[in-house]
Chain A
Amino acid sequence: MWLRFEPRAEPSRLMRYLSPIIAVALMLASGMVLFMLLGKSPMEGFKVFFLNPLKDSYGVAELFLKATPLMLCAVGLAVGFRANVWNIGAEGQLLVGALAGGWLALHFEGSNSPLLLPGMIVAGALGGMLWASIPALLRTRFNANEILTSLMLVYIAELMVSWLVHGPWKDPDGFNFPQTKLFTAKALLPVLMPGTRVNAALFIAIAALIAGWVFMNRSFMGYQMKVAGQAEHASRYAGFSAKRSVWLGMLVGGGMAGIAGISEVAGPIGQITEHISPGYGFAAMIVAFVGRLSPVGIFFASLLMALLYMGGEQAQQYLNLPYSISKVFQGMLLFFLLGSDVFINFRVRLLRRINK
């Protein structure tokens, strides 16, 4: 008996949508095994990790709070990924967006202007776009691989944040903690449900998902980007601009990540610290792929990813497991997704014989 992979005549649509579900199931199963190997009861682990976080309305609100930056980053990245623009630096763009909006909040400290918050959101988007424009320029002008450049810029952005909160932007009355002053009321996103932290950025994220869907599936520009991503020569033959696709893909990704940065610093954090994002920009890539680069999928995948973040916190508190357990789950999810994605284009045949 042999197992053989055979290319399918056409990619399986069923597998395309089934694959993320299989990946989640395999992640859960392996998670149970992992809990067992760590000497915990798998059922207890599952309960703490996946059910506890959602046991009250506060938990559900937290889920949406954490899903918000993931949705924003992932939908922006998906626009680029569909065009084969591999922006993997959303984390850095998120940080620079947070810095740009945060600068506005600190500069106009105590301002009562209703324009301050919208201004911060715009500044955040522009900051993220600025950071994303560097790899875009390097790619279009010098053909430098944006995977490398955008990733390297993440570390530059992290160090920039670190320098600012340790240096020029440090709160003079902050007991020498590496953080800025707290933002004042008009520089904070309004909370949607009293007693929780979920804020108005969720609406921005959902609007972004809808706009993203229209752009990717119905607009001619979205189509052109898809062509540019898949066949550069075809796009040149048709007269589409490949450079425009790269720029658009990078800028949309950067802009969305920048807004995600604002959703954090003008949301639950309320200031700039060294730890603005627990890796949302990176996790958003997994979200984008689990969500099949489609806004509907991204919505659900963001909630799942948010749950993994919350489960990690719970596991730390109640199971004495390290916080990095949630990173392990993220990794397993991506791993199983890539594995089951093989079956979109291939199927397995059982062979009883090769030759007669």
Chain B
Amino acid sequence: MQTQAPATPRLLIKGARKAYPAVVANDGIDLTVMPGEIHAVLGENGAGKSTLMKIIYGVIRPDEGELHWEGLRVSVANPAQARALGIGMVFQHFSLFETLTVVQNVALALPGKFDLASLATRIEEVSERYGLPVDPRRLVHALSVGERQRVEIIRCLLQNPKLLILDEPTSVLTPQAVRKLFETLRQLAAEGCSILYISHKLDEIQELCHTATVLRGGKVTGTCTPSLETPQTMARMMIGEDLPVCHHGEPEDGGEVRLRIEGLSHATEDPFGTHLKNINLTVRSGEILGIAGVSGNGQQELLKAISGEEPLTDRRAIQICGVPVGRLSPAGRRSLGMCFVPEERLGRGAVPRLTLTENILLTAYRKGMLFAGLIRFGVAKRFAEDCIARFDVKCGGAGSEAKSLSGGNLQKFIVGREIMQNPKVLVLAQPTWGVDVGAASFIRRSLLELRNSGTAILVISEELDELFEICDRLTVIAKGSLSPTIVTSETGVEEIGIWMSGLWPSSEASEGDSHVA
């Protein structure tokens, strides 16, 4: 802990208020961050964490309130000014230019002219030092979520910040990498850098943070020392009630095989992608199979192969309910009873500027919503209203645009849309990424219910806690290969963490280096 000398706070916020047309996002928030302090900001989605961070980083201007930086009152007009003060921020939704390389993206954020070659070397040094492996010459659009986040962190670290803001930073790291990041953060804090750490993972906050400020509904509901609290007490401060617990019954044996992947090898056209090597797996009716792994190890390629967005040459490599579908389009696979929840919600799982009713049509149009090539909007609207009610989607109604929903609510809507089609097979990628605890727990319970009703579910996630919570069996993807499958109750986070670096018994991947440092 920081010694309580009469030090000036690095950052002091008094009465920050920001009102949006529909909602007051921040309502009189006070926050004090001392030099070298790791300060958690805790709260559900929509509690106002991101707004507060954007005020500090100069992305938005508060309607009211004061901001003091190292004792001086300042008004941060834009992120460039924030960076000049020494504030660095890693956004939850990344702010990278997809068509540029890593090093070009970093150069854009740094003041002055840069020699890209020497900057690339510096990036490699920082990435080496902090255990954040990334190739500076790669194009950002080809990077996975986890890799993009590493770029964001490195970009901030290169500017030697005095205050580093991290928004949900660990959701895409292995347990070992999280530990390494924590070492980095502690090292930074020891060097005097203050850290604002936004997370919904209470155990992480307990392990890492010195102080926590809890937000609910745009107001501060408490300040605590996480080491003196339990996850339950903090959760109560955050959501105002106890966390619901998932009841995970035993899987029923002998369900039929609904999804079979047989000897799937696929070379991706993307020069930076991961080739899939001899993937084999089966998912039976009434079970949830989880695929763990560090992002960038072939998850995207595997997902696209399963969904049909990337057509295969081998028909038999993927079978849905015994039908070879390797060459079918996504629509063809859907008509066999497969549903799919992608990792990106806006832009892939939902069209931002269409209404929820219109977004229902995207995949659920087979449910009686078409007649002679024309749309029956009444049916779609009823489906959307059902989905909003059943999955507790907070929105203005079926006529709201998808982009007006918060991440968690949109995810509930998309998951709901897919579940309500009564899929035989449901494939989900990162089902609760960046979703608040309440919504995440709701989604997990819905998945367990669906499993109990006999659906075969495949979850690809980078959140180990989640996989351990809901999956019956686990496997790990590393460098495009799958580990053996293991029953969840017979393994632990440590073992899976090691497998995630490509080291599993008698595996091919263990011969080479994996993407994990």
CB nearest to A238 among chain B residues: B362
Partner of B309 from the list A8, A226, A237 (CB cut-off 8 Å) is A237
Stretch in A21-29, A213-221, A263-271 with 4+ CB within 8 Å of B: A213-221
Segment with Cβ contacts to B, from A112-120, A187-195, A228-236, A317-325: A228-236
Interface size class of chain A, counting residues whose CB lies under 8 Å from the partner chain: 20 to 34
A218 CA / B307 CA spacing, docked (Å): 28
Whether a CB of chain B sits under 8 angstroms from the CB of A37 is no
CB-CB nearest in chain B for A7:
B21
> In the complex, A75→B156 CA distance in Å?
50
Say whether B349 contacts A237, CB under 8 Å: yes
Q: How many A-B residue pairs have CB under 8 A?
A: 83
A239 to B22, CA, bound (A): 35
A10-B400, A220-B374, A223-B358 known; A239+B331 contact, CB < 8 A? yes
- Smallest Cβ-Cβ distance to B342: which chain A residue: A237
Point out which of A10, A219, A220, A234 has the most chain B C-beta atoms below 10 A from its C-beta.
Answer: A234
Q: B362–A234 contact, CB under 8 A?
A: yes
A355 within 8 A of B: yes
User: How far apart are B370's CB and chain A's nearest CB, in angstroms?
Assistant: 5
Q: Which of B334-362 contact A (CB under 8 A)?
A: 334, 340, 342, 344, 347-354, 358, 361-362
Given A221-B373, A239-B331, A355-B75, A9 contacting B347 (CB threshold 8 A): no
Docked complex: B126-158 residues within 8 A CB-CB of A:
none
Q: How far is the CA of A230 from the CA of B353 in the complex (A)?
A: 8
A9 and B331 within 8 A (CB): no
In the complex, whether A141 has a CB less than 8 A from a CB of chain B is no
A351 CB to nearest B CB, Å: 9
Give bound CA distance, A8 to B354, whole Å. Answer: 16
Q: Is the CB of B64 within 8 A of A238?
A: no
Is A350 interfacial (CB 8 A cutoff)?
no
Residue of B329, B331, B352 touching A230 (CB-CB under 8 A): B352
Contact A219 B374 (CB under 8 A): yes
At the interface, yes or no: A44 with Cβ under 8 Å from chain B? no
Contact A227–B354 (Cβ < 8 Å)? yes
B-facing mask of A344-356, CB < 8 A → 1, else 0? 0000000000111
A108 within 8 A of B: no
* Chain A 225-257 interface 0/1 with B at a Cβ cutoff of 8 Å (1 = within): 011001101101111100000000000000000
| In contact, B362 and A8 (Cβ under 8 angstroms) | no
Is B349 within 8 A of A223, CB to CB? no
Q: Using a CB-CB cutoff of 8 Å, which residues 426-469 of chain B contact chain A?
A: none
Near B by CB (< 8 A), chain A positions 1-28 give 6-11
Chain B window 393-409, contacts with chain A (Cβ cutoff 8 Å), 1 for yes, 0 for no: 00010001100100000
Query: What are the 3 tightest A-B residue pairs by CB atom distance, in nearest-first order?
Result: A239-B331, A239-B330, A233-B348
17 further A-B pairs in the complex, CB-CB below 8 A; given A233-B348, A234-B351: A9-B20, A9-B404, A10-B396, A10-B400, A218-B375, A219-B375, A230-B351, A230-B352, A231-B347, A233-B344, A237-B309, A237-B330, A237-B340, A237-B349, A237-B362, A239-B333, A355-B66
5 residue pairs from A and B, CB less than 8 Å apart? A9-B22, A220-B374, A227-B354, A237-B307, A356-B64
